[in-house]
Every structure is written in structure tokens, then in C-alpha cells.
Amino acid sequence: MSYRIATIAGDGIGPEVAGATVQVLQALLGSDVLRFDWLDGGAGHYDKTGEVLPQSTLDACRASHAILHGAAGLPGVTYDDGTEVGNDLHLKLRFGLDLYANVRPICLLPGVESPLRHHQPGTIDYVIVRENTEGLYASRGAGVVLRDEMASDSLVITRKGTERVARFALELSRRRQGAPKDGKRRLTVCDKANILRSYAFFRKVCDEVGAEFNDVELDYAYVDAMTVHLVKRPDFYDVIVAENLFGDIISDLGAATVGGMGVSPSAELGDRHGLFQGAHGSAPDIAGQDAANPIATLLSGAMMLEWLAVEHADDRLSDAAGRLRQAVDGVLSDGRYRPREFGGNTGCSAFTEQVLRQLEG
């Protein structure tokens, strides 16, 4: 079987990191297995045409087996209300394809130093699952400003949305090896249930779904406490589920504990479609200089292969994903080829070349 991958390079360093990932994926599996269709979209495309995501691109994404994305967003390219155009690429794909689970692995890699003392690879390894279609962000574009005196946005939590993301997170925990500290499969519900009814409802529904999973321990944390726990005891966590805004915030905090956004992959998943991209932004200040770090997008490519392998029962893809992860780990462990954000001078093409050499070896 062959797979069509809708590929949106996007803005800034997006074309560089997406191109590097396509190069590596083709080296792993060949063009007969993975076929990449390059599509338009992003803030730069909007600046030229007035469309951030053409209908033709959305249609192609809907017809593809998966979507690979570089990055979106450019400074100064905004709507009249001041909100950034680049975000709408993700939002249109998210709602158009019903990508309700935002998956952010937080994993300390070999050769990467955590700012948290005494933590080594293997001691920070958890996943944040963020509900992706509801919460406060669902109000984007629908908020109200009255007489330039007050503004209001609505927080929306539904039973359907919470049930499906909770079930997704619990099933993910079942497939994992448990928290590094004690090996327990654990779902932590992150909310503010002590203050707002909407979050109390979120917790209630998570409880109800959790009752179906006797093999996964349920745990709870208010989001303010969670910001402390992720710094002081990250090894306790296995899978965390959160509302859209809270999940967005704690995901970036978690990324900071394992080296930053440049090594943080992400996926946005639904029942039929998957979008994969690095968690970082478009970094237009270094675009075109071969200075980008491709690790996050490479690891997102590995996530894409793993997801496709499960969806289509194709062991070739899961084997390739494992080889890709090992190759990235091998380059980082070597220590000679360090991206600039880690104090080295290895650019996008040089790091990619080393990954390809690891695969050849």
C-alpha cells in the first residue's frame, strides 16, 4: 500500500524543516510507499492571495492519508482585529477535519540537557493531550468588544468533546509503559474545577469515562499547581488531558523542560485525519539561513508513521518510525552535531545529513 501525504511547507523555516523531513522519510521508505503532495497555505500565501488555506488545499488534505506541515505565521500579517493570520491555517484544518486531540509528547532526548537538575533521558517522558476544538479558543473570531470599554469571549465545554478526548487520552495511556517514576499507567486531568463550573463539568465527564478503564489510574491537578508539578516532579506523569487553553500553556512549559520547542513534536488527530508538525513557530528571523533545527519536525514525521501504522496495520511504518527515532537519538548522543539553540553550529541541512548517515549505518 502507498500513502499520500498532503504537505504544507508554510512560512519562515517551514519549507526547510518540512523539506528535511520529506527527504528523510523518502530515504526510509521510498517514493513508492510515501507520496508527498506539496500544497499552498500559510500567512505568506494569504499576503499574496487573501487566502490562508485555499479550498483546494483543504480538499487535498481531506483526501490524503495524513498531513505534514512545516510552520505558519509571519510578523505583521494580521487581520484588522490584530489577530495573526497564521493561526487560521491550523484552525481551518482543525475544524474542517475535526482534529479534536492535540498530542504533545514531552520527552527528554539523549544528548539534550534539561534545565531541571538531576533529570536524564528516561526520567521525563509523558504526553499532554489537549482538547483541540472547544474550550476558550473556540471563541476565536466570535468574541465581543462593546464600545471599546469591555471585551468578552466564551469558554465552551461539551459532553461529546470531553468524552472523546478523555477516551483518546485513556487509550493512549493503555498503550504506553506508564510514568517513569513508578511505571503506573496514569491519566491526570488538568483543570480549574475549584473555580469554574465549566471545568468542574470537564472533570466530571473525564471521571465517567475513566470508570471504563480500570487499568489506568485517575489523577487530578489544578492548572496552577500543575505548573509547579511539571517542574518539580515531571517523572510522576504519564498522560495529561486538559482543556484547549490550559493544554496549550502547559505544553509549552513541558517543552521547556526537555530542551525547548525545537525538539518538541506534535500531532492533531481525529477519528479519520491526522496533522503532524513541530511545536515551534515559523522563526522568520532565521529563515533561509540554513540555521533551523529540524528535530521537532523529524520527530513529528515519526509520529505520523506510527499513527499510519496503527490506522492501516502496516508494520513497515512502525519499523521505519523506530529507525527514525533511533537515528535522531544517535546524532544527538554523538555530541558533535548540535543545533545552534544547544550551543552548536549545526544547521538544518547538516543535521539532516547526519540523520541520513545514521540510517545508512
Residue 252, phi then psi, degrees to nearest 5: -70, -35
Give me the number of domains the chain comprises: 2
Active site annotation includes 222: no
Q: Is residue 104 part of a domain?
A: no
In this structure, is the dihedral angle defined by the CA atoms of residues 82, 85, 89 and 95, taken in order, positive or negative? positive
Residue of 224, 271, 285, 334 marked catalytic: 224
Using 50, 70 and 90 to split pLDDT, how confident is the model at 220? very high
Please tell me the distance from the alpha carbon of residue 322 to that of residue 327, in angstroms, as a whole number.
9
pLDDT, tens digit (0-9, with 9 covering 90-100), for 164-174: 999 999 999 99
Please tell me the distance from the alpha carbon of residue 9 to that of residue 67, in angstroms, as a whole number.
11
Residue 82 and residue 55 in contact, taking contact as beta carbons nearer than 8 Å: no
Q: What is the DSSP letter of 78?
A: B
Which pTM does this prediction carry? 0.95
The CATH number given to whatever domain includes residue 53 is 3.40.718.10
Residue of 100, 126, 137, 337 marked catalytic: 137
Please tell me the distance from the alpha carbon of residue 132 to that of residue 121, in angstroms, as a whole number.
29
Residue of 181, 192, 235, 314 marked catalytic: 192
Active site annotation includes 11: no
Task: Give the neighbor-by-neighbor strand order of the sheet with 66-71.
Answer: 34-39, 3-10, 66-71, 274-278, 265-269, 101-107, 125-131, 239-242, 186-191, 217-222
Residues 227 and 313 in one domain: no
Residue where one domain finishes, among candidates 258, 291, 323? 258
Active site annotation includes 334: no
pLDDT value at residue 148: 84
Residues 240 and 284 in one domain: no
- The single residue listed with the C-alpha cell 491526522 is 274
Active site annotation includes 46: no
Please tell me the distance from the alpha carbon of residue 66 to that of residue 63, in angstroms, as a whole number.
9
Residues 237 and 337 in one domain: no
Residue of 88, 125, 191, 248 marked catalytic: 248
Active site annotation includes 182: no
Please tell me the distance from the alpha carbon of residue 32 to that of residue 36, in angstroms, as a whole number.
10
Tell me the average pLDDT of the chain: 95
Helix (DSSP H) and strand (DSSP E) numbers for the chain: 11, 12
Residues 76 and 159 in one domain: no
Q: Is residue 185 part of a domain?
A: yes
pLDDT, tens digit (0-9, with 9 covering 90-100), for 37-78: 999 999 999 999 999 999 999 999 999 999 999 999 999 888
Structural domain containing residue 350: 1-99+273-361
